[in-house]
């Protein structure tokens, strides 16, 4: 089994010996794409608190005034008990 360092050196060697400009351009695009994905996806932790999730998702919440305005705009006519029966 080849270790990680050996894999790296083999790839570097292949890249350095290549004269194929198209292949090198495609490789560069692929590496850039991987770089973007690594910034988007963060590793999963075994334990995560609610506070950490809120921080990671940059959750800002909603103020009370906006919440009640939205609730009024929905114009729900059923009582709370009727809505809970639907759940």
Q: Determine contact, residues 42/56, Cβ cutoff 8 Å.
A: yes
Q: Cα 22–26–29 angle (5° rounding)? A: 140
**Per-residue pLDDT in tens (0 to 9) along the chain, 87 residues:** 789 999 999 999 999 999 999 999 999 999 888 877 666 666 677 788 888 888 888 888 888 999 888 888 888 888 888 888 887
Is the entire prediction scored with pTM above 0.85? Answer: no
Asked whether the beta carbons of 47 and 53 are under 8 A apart, the reply is no
Look at residue 42 in the predicted model and tell me its pLDDT.
Answer: 67
Return the HEC string of the chain.
CCCHHHHHHHHHHHHHHCCCHHHHHHHHHHHHHHHHHHHHCCCCCCCCCHHHHHHHCCCCCCCHHHHHHHHHHHCCCCCHHHHHHHC
Residue 39, pLDDT score? 66
Find the angle CA(9)-CA(31)-CA(33) to the nearest 5 degrees. Answer: 160
């Amino acid at each position: 089994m080849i270790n990680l360092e050996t894999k790296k050196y083999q790839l570097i060697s292949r890249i350095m010996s290549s004269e194929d400009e198209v292949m090198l351009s495609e490789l560069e695009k692929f590496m850039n794409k991987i770089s973007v994905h690594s910034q988007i996806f963060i590793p999963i932790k075994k334990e995560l608190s609610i506070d950490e999730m809120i921080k990671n998702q940059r959750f800002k919440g909603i103020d009370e005034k906006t919440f009640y305005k939205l609730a009024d705009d929905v114009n729900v006519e059923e009582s709370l008990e009727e809505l809970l029966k639907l759940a």
